[in-house]
Structure 1
Amino acid sequence: MQNLKVTSTAFVHKGEIPIQYTGWGKDISPELILDNLDEKAISIAIIMDDLDHPISMLVNRDYNHWLIWNIPAQKVVPENITHGKQVKELEGAIQGLAYGKYRYAGPKPPRFLKKAHRYGFHVYVLDRMLDLKAEVKKKEFLEIIKPYVLQTGYLEGYYQNKK
């Protein structure tokens, strides 16, 4: 399996996520750049989790902010992906639930928490499109895709309330 390098024009790995990509700003998804994409790639899936959410620490699981799949294989996943179950500009990519909505839900740690939260963007390159309902849960999704993963990549950023 070749290494997949994931970067963003918005922030560097382990760097600060700018406010426009957060729930306190415009709440738009950042552009992601995929280097060394496998030539057999058919689709891309992305999961974004809050690695430091207080609830996730209590129940020992990540707090999901974004689940999207069936993005046609491409080196650049554009910024500001529209909301909704189906994403027309990405040839019908499917968004699962994040914070009860079918969309990217940017970082939004509670204002009373002064600690930075880390957010992980997990990128999966698959050898097929998936026939799944948008209501699929993250845990089930990860089990389903296991046999089809050609590459994985990871990008992490953080956000901290400044007020």
Structure 2
Amino acid sequence: MKKISLFLFILVYLFNYKIFAQSFVLESSAFKQNSIIPDQFTCKGRDLSPPLTWRNAPEKTQSFALVVQDPDAPNAAWTHWFLYNIPANITQLDAGSPLPEGAQYGKNSWGGPGYRGPCPSIGAHRYVFKIYALDNHLPTDPEASPDSLLNSMTGHVLATAELVGLYQTFN
């Protein structure tokens, strides 16, 4: 009877832990999941980076990387923004905020650093904001491409969270 009780206790504990464990979440106060990105964060407006907040990162997180890509671009995923080595104590970026101390810019698909907002050709596009909780810091390389930085994260990703925004141009 004691073995059954212990087994049931462990089963209930694991079940409750799994249910109540907090998920890693990425949000914006400017737009919700799968909704329209306001013009001020696009080429039609001020082209500011949107405000972002994340929470419930794994305990062993050493740094974050943030990538914004358009998977609907004609040739391949188009990178609008790449930040890496964001310190683990940073959990938000304000709209248009400068790079947090210690963080690095990766190249965007225009070949430079920094944020470039949505500016699709005619039609609707999705913009995937993805944050990676990493167990290390990535090697600093101002010439690194988005693909090489993503490859350097292999084996070091503790968790990811995504926020998808939409944007469409008509002419």
1:106 to 107, 117, 142: 117
1:129 equivalent in structure 2: 137
Matches within 5 A, 1:48-67: 48-56=68-76, 62-67=77-82
CA distance in 2, matches of 1:23, 1:134: 24
Matches within 5 A, 1:66-105: 66-73=81-88, 74-82=90-98, 87=99, 90-98=100-108, 99-105=110-116
Q: How many corresponding residue pairs?
A: 149
Which protein, 1 or 2, shows the higher relative CO under an 8 Å CA cutoff with sep ≥ 6?
Answer: 1
- Calculate percent identity across the aligned residue pairs: 36
Instruction: Indicate the SS of the match to 2:155.
Output: helix
Q: Kindly name which structure, 1 or 2, has the bigger radius of gyration based on alpha carbons.
A: 2
1:59 equivalent in structure 2: none
RMSD: 1.8
The C-alpha deviation readout for 1:49-96, integer Å capped at 9, x for no partner, is 11211232xxxxx111111101112222222133xxxx3xx1131111
The one-letter code matched in structure 1 to 2:103 is: A
2:50 equivalent in structure 1: 30
Conservation of the 8 A alpha-carbon contact between 1:3 and 1:151:
no
CA distance in 2, matches of 1:44, 1:27: 23
- Of the structure 1 ranges 16-25 and 124-133, higher mean CA displacement relative to structure 2 is found in 124-133
